[in-house]
Amino acid sequence: MLHVNAFLVQSFQEGPRGDNEFFAPNMFMGDFGTNATENQFVNVNMMLTAERWTYPDEGAPQLLQVGELNEDDEPYIDHQHPHSSPIMGLTFSDTINFDKNFLKIFFAPRGEATEGPQAFMHRITGQINSEPPLGHHVGQDVAHITSTVLGASLKLDRVTYEASAFHGREPSPTETDIPMGELNSYAGRLIYEFDEESSAMISASYVKDPEEHDSDLDHINRYSASYYSESDVFSEIKFNNTFIFGLVNGLEHISALRSFVDEFLIHAADSPHNYWGRLEVLERAPAQLGFITTDPLDPQYVTALTLGYTHKWKVNEQELGLGFAATKNFLPSDFDDVYGDDPWASKIFVQWSAMKMNSR
């Protein structure tokens, strides 16, 4: 299988921290495998990106976003960091099938630890949006890029049990290497399939020495719970929905940070119209956003509501989309002097997606 999902985006943002920039989020995935025996399947999965070179130096504009350091060892604030380029992920796996169940053992020099929800670029409600959630690092899907992962998945009927050990420090988004590290962290995840249209997932992890720039931070704990569903609104109109809760203890020496996100996509198989959105409610401390208040490590809730539309044209096995989205941010009064009064953000974009599958 080959899969590409790429955007050309022009952003527009209000307020003192608003930034109008052009950038290009992108992901290329290849999945290659073969049967070693009748019931055994070996596989290589690779994810590539060029975001290191298609993002502005300060990152892609996104108000209230934080995470990682840039080339000058300054934190990305109000901007999304590029994903590790060119190799975002590389995973080798061996799957043994028995009846309708399986045991999968995998190793990833860079890949996904068994924690958090489905990564935003893989879930159907996230693929249509060029921006990761603001809660990306708040107990959600930050572990989709993890160094040196060794793990296993066991599916028994409707339940899948997953566990992994990994290196706790996240790869730097400004480096083009793929370093290995000791297995000093661990995670577990449980997935339950209610039926073909709905499933739930919970996870917990212990992450050792997560930040290179903070030697005083020994470890953090991350937790998540998520629910995924697809339902028929009318005869052929599908409503896909994802709800995620994330919690992280110890990040930036803050005892607890919580995040909630709900994403939706309304679409029909033979229709070019795609209506989508995301509602986020999460905690941010002023120190994370680079400003000082009476208590800069006291987290406060911020809210971001995004509504978007994408018109898609299908050409053979490819899709070309033209879309726009608007985001309204709702902030506590302590943030007004820095961000203005509940600033708006918007974007227009072109999306190219394609998937090709071959078997022999």
- For the record, the structure tokens of 190 come out as 């449980």
Given this model, what pLDDT does residue 360 score?
A: 65
Q: Tell me: cis bond preceding 86? Omega within 30 of 0 counts.
A: yes
- Report residue 156 as tokens: 């028994």
Q: What is the pLDDT of residue 227?
A: 98
- pLDDT of the residue at 44: 98
* All structural domains of the chain: 2-356 (2.40.160.10)
Q: How far apart are CA 241 and CA 262, in angstroms?
A: 7
> SS3 of 252, please?
helix
- Asked if residues 111 and 88 have their Cβ atoms less than 8 Å apart, the reply is no
Phi, psi angle pair for 37, to nearest 5°: -140, -175
Question: Could you read off the pLDDT tens digit of each residue along the chain, which spans 360 residues?
Answer: 999 999 999 999 999 999 999 999 999 999 999 999 989 999 999 999 999 999 999 999 999 999 888 888 899 999 999 999 999 999 999 999 998 899 999 999 999 999 999 999 999 999 999 999 999 999 999 999 999 999 999 999 999 999 999 999 988 898 998 989 999 999 999 999 999 999 999 999 999 999 888 888 999 999 999 999 999 988 789 999 999 999 999 998 999 999 999 999 999 988 999 999 999 999 999 999 999 888 899 999 999 999 999 999 998 889 999 999 999 999 999 999 999 999 999 999 999 999 998 876
Quick one: what percent of the chain has pLDDT higher than 90? 88
How buried is 127 (Cβ within 10 angstroms: 0-12 exposed, 13-18 middle, 19+ buried)?
A: middle
Q: Among residues 112, 111, 52, 113, which one has the least CA distance to residue 83?
A: 52
- C-alpha triplet 233, 239, 245: angle, nearest 5°: 135
Q: Which residues contact 20 (CB under 8 A, 6 or more apart)?
A: 10, 11, 12, 13, 61
**DSSP one-letter code for 176:** -
DSSP calls for 5-21: EEEEEEEEE-STT----
SS3 354: strand
Query: Which pairing describes strands 101-111 and 146-156: parallel, antiparallel, or unpaired?
Result: antiparallel
- Number of other residues whose CB lies within 10 A of the CB of residue 290: 14
Cα separation, 159 vs 90, in Å, equals 26
300 torsion bin: left (phi>0), alpha (psi -120 to 50), beta (else): beta
3-state secondary structure of 282: strand
pLDDT score of 220 = 96
| Helix ranges, the chain (H) | 51-54, 336-339
